[in-house]
Structure 1
């Protein structure tokens, strides 16, 4: 069994992770808590790196949201994933407000990418497309508008 990482080794490990991509603080804690000598040392290292600007939950959220918007994910899915990664809902709302995406446009873009310009042939196909959009995090209303349907 490997010995626990001391303060400097832990700091180097975190910097190595952050050199590859952004991580939320909660992700780093989850990945490294079993490797650290103590949880207090890990928290101290993370506090130090956050103060130095190496780690930032805000920067992580901005990059994550920008990436998900480019992939045409909806609001609810983005909120859910950020919550899973330990980002507080208030920070998520703040970053989303700054980016101010057009959710209807994103939903329509996703429909065009996935289904093309053709309209659904029957109600079963319309329902399938609607479920697809809702599973991607769009509201029912946004999905309906994107599909140009009025399912009742």
Structure 2
């Protein structure tokens, strides 16, 4: 691969990172899709971006956790989404530690926004609990909403 092709690969990666944070796995997939380059060269570009501080899975995880939490999603769903984006479990765990979000308050806010009143019977309570479970809240956060 020539220096020009290598430079265009590097610039494409920078352009992606200029728009928003990405995980290294996401960058690799997008570069592979756009260029028919070898995995070895793409990995070299990724390591260069990491060394230069432009690419960080930790920074991506923290930003993603905050973004999804503000949109009303819980830690279970966010963890699953980050796993799908190729972020390691250790990085995800550190991201949650760094973010220090109040998941119980978020669950209550999401529930009150969707359902204006308290559940009147068991069926309605189950419906509201299932909604919170779908949004990715754990059992502790869900039960705190109904105590």
Q: 1:36 to 1:44 in 2, by over 3 A?
A: farther
How many corresponding residue pairs? 143
Contact kept, 8 Å, 1:6 with 1:36, in 2: the verdict is no
Q: Compute the displacement of 1:121 (Å).
A: 2.4
| Aligned counterparts, 1:4-83, within 5 A | 6-34=5-33, 35-83=35-83
Structure 1: gaps spanning 5 or more residues = none
| Aligned counterparts, 1:78-93, within 5 A | 78-93=78-93
Distance 1:95 1:39 in 2: 27
Q: Deviations over 1:5-30 (max 9, x none)?
A: 92111111111111111110001111
Contact kept, 8 Å, 1:10 with 1:36, in 2: the verdict is no
Structure 1 stretches (4+) deviating beyond 4 angstroms? Answer: none
Of Structure 1 and Structure 2, the greater helix share is in 2
Aligned to 1:97: 97
TM-score (structure 1 length as normaliser): 0.87
Q: Compute the displacement of 1:134 (Å).
A: 0.5
Contact kept, 8 Å, 1:74 with 1:137, in 2: the verdict is yes
Aligned to 1:137: 136
